[in-house]
Each structure stands twice: as C-alpha cells, then as structure tokens.
Amino acid sequence: MTHVTLVLSAFILDQLIGDPPSLPHPVILMGKAISWLEDWLNDGTPARRRLNGALMAIGLTSVTFFLTWGLLKLIGLLSPAASVILEVYLISTAIASKSLRAAGRSVLQPLLERDLAKARLRLSWLVSRDTSKLRSAEIVRGTVETLAENFVDGILSPLFYAAIGGAPLALAFKAVSTLDSMVGYKNERFRDFGRFSARMDDAANYIPARLSVPILLLAGALLRMPVTKGYKIWRRDSGSHPSPNGGNPESVVAGLLKIQLGGINIYHGQLHHRAEMGEPVRLLQPQLIQECLSLVRVSEWLALFPILALAWILGGI
C-alpha cells in the first residue's frame, strides 16, 4: 500500500473511531518512558541536565522510529496484509482529529449549562495553565487557543510526517510532541532538562505551522468568515507569540473569529503575560468554541489536499 492510501485510510479511521480506550495507544507508552527517564536523568548541574535531556529526546525519538519500522518489517515478512493494517492503525493513533473536537465539545457543554466548575475542570485536562478561577470568557479563550494550536500539533503535523515517512516518522513526531508536552517547560524543574525537547518540537512543527495559515484561511472563506481580517491579523500579530509556531494558527483564528486571544495566564502560581493577538470585536462567548470547532473540522479535510499531494510525490498512489 502506498503513502497516499496509507495516509488517507489512517485519516478516515481516526475520523471514525478516534482513540478507543480499549485499544493500546503508543503515546501512553511514550509517556511512561519519559516519566521513568526523567526521574532517572533530570539531576545534577544545569549543564548535566541539558545534556541528559538532549540524550533522552534523541534516544526516545530514534527508538520510536526504528522500533516502529522494525515491527512493521517483521510483521510484513509474516503477513503483508497485517503489516498494512497495523501501519494504518499506528498512523491513526498519531492523528488527534476526533479527540481534539471531542475535547473542545467537552468544555463547551458545561459552559452552555453555566457549570463553570465543570468547564474549568475539563479545560484543565487540555492546558497547563491554572484554570481554577477562570471566568467564562477566559475558559472560551483557553479552549479556542488550544483548538487552534492543536490543529497543527495534533492533526496537520502528524499527517505531514506520515506523508513523508509513514508510521515510523509519524510516531517519531508524536514522540517529539509528547516530550515537549511533558518536559518542555521553562520552570525550575524543566528549564534545562527540557530545553532540547522544546527546540525539537519547534523545529518539527515549523513547516506545518506555516502550512496551516492558507488552510485555515481557505476554511474561513468556505465558512464565510472574514478572510481579509484573518490574513491581516496573521501578518501583524503572529510573531508576537512566545512560540515560533503557535502564533501562526492562533493569530489566523483570532482574525477569522474577530476576537482577541492572549493575555494573562497563571502557571504554577505565577502570572505570565502572553502578547495579545487579534482585536476584541466580539465578546468571548461559548458559541465561539463551536465556530472554532467548525473551522478546525473544515480545515482537517482541506489539509488532505496538500498532504496527499506530498504523499503522492514521495510514494505514489
């Protein structure tokens, strides 16, 4: 089976079943490995922590790639059909389309029911900021920011790497993303140890983050959103984001929805100001989450065109 068929099959499989809790998920294994390695290696001088963190990041990503490649080759010797089925499944586990939309709806529902306590709890499962005292508008902001950023991290980037290198490269990217989500923080514990992981994640998402801009703008046009506004806000505000990548999808979404993202967040009891993106033309109300979900949904399908074109160029139909 060629790259085009593999990627398309995996995308459709994720749309249909998402991440069933009854099936094993590679990210869970990655998370356990990172936790164990971090407990063992995150010690010593700052220079030692940086070295250990880099070795862990390179090692885990490499092991993930070659273990996946070897497993598929081994099973392929026994049953080519089984190897194809496994590869489609593994690629689907790297894509988070259905689970991302479900996460957004899980916050939206209690907001519509005016259950702020439940909405704060649900948002806390998605972000690292303190959500315990957030008002409705800030919950909406956090959810929209998460949906926008994870369109790249959870959907576009895995598809991009699957198109290039199938399941081995898609899962290697997922290892990089999981490393960043677990140790890529600038707090006292991870500032040195997680530095390399954060830089790897920045590099891995660099191209997909920029590819997300025309995809989101085209999706906005199909949904009759103000595309000119989205483009203007992207040009003006994307560079103000602390991440070299996150500002691209977030600024476009802010412009398309005519809202302002960014502002004050609380991490581990400390206030952090993230530069504002967009303009507060509209109030941050719950229905904006639904509009953002629709935007992400359309963008997912539009992303297939450049992704499958890339897969065709590299691997044929």
Which tokens belong to 280?
């507060």
- The secondary structure of residue 238, as a DSSP letter, is G
35-49 pLDDT, tens digit each: 999 999 999 999 999
Given this model, what pLDDT does residue 317 score? 47
Nearest-angstrom CA–CA distance, 26 and 60 = 12
Which tokens belong to 241?
């984001």
Given this model, what pLDDT does residue 219 score? 98
Nearest-angstrom CA–CA distance, 312 and 144 = 33
- Cβ-proximal residues to 156 (8 Å cutoff; 6+ apart), any chain: 208, 211, 212, 215, 303, 307
Nearest-angstrom CA–CA distance, 111 and 116 = 6
Residue 264's DSSP bridge partners are 273
274 band by pLDDT with thresholds 50, 70 and 90: confident
Given this model, what pLDDT does residue 159 score? 97
**Number of domains composing the chain:** 1
295-314 pLDDT, tens digit each: 999 999 999 999 999 999 98
133-156 pLDDT, tens digit each: 999 999 999 999 999 999 999 999
Given this model, what pLDDT does residue 22 score? 73
pTM for the whole structure: 0.94
56 pLDDT exceeds 80? Answer: yes
125 pLDDT exceeds 70? Answer: yes
Given this model, what pLDDT does residue 2 score? 77
Measured CA to CA in angstroms, residue 129 lies from 108, 225, 259, 265, 285 at distances of: 18, 29, 20, 6, 20
To the nearest whole number, what is the mean pLDDT of the chain?
94
Question: Angle CA(124)–CA(128)–CA(133) in degrees, nearest 5?
Answer: 50
220-250 pLDDT, tens digit each: 999 999 999 999 999 999 998 888 999 999 9
Nearest-angstrom CA–CA distance, 74 and 205 = 30
**Crossing angle, helix 80-94 and helix 3-17, to 10 degrees?**
60
316 band by pLDDT with thresholds 50, 70 and 90: low
Percent of the chain predicted with pLDDT > 70: 99
Given this model, what pLDDT does residue 1 score? 61
101 pLDDT exceeds 90? Answer: yes
Measured CA to CA in angstroms, residue 225 lies from 78, 214, 234 at distances of: 51, 14, 15
269 pLDDT exceeds 80? Answer: no
186 band by pLDDT with thresholds 50, 70 and 90: confident
Structural domain of 123:
3-315
Which residue, among 172, 212, 206, 201, has the nearest Cα to 296 in the 3D structure? 212
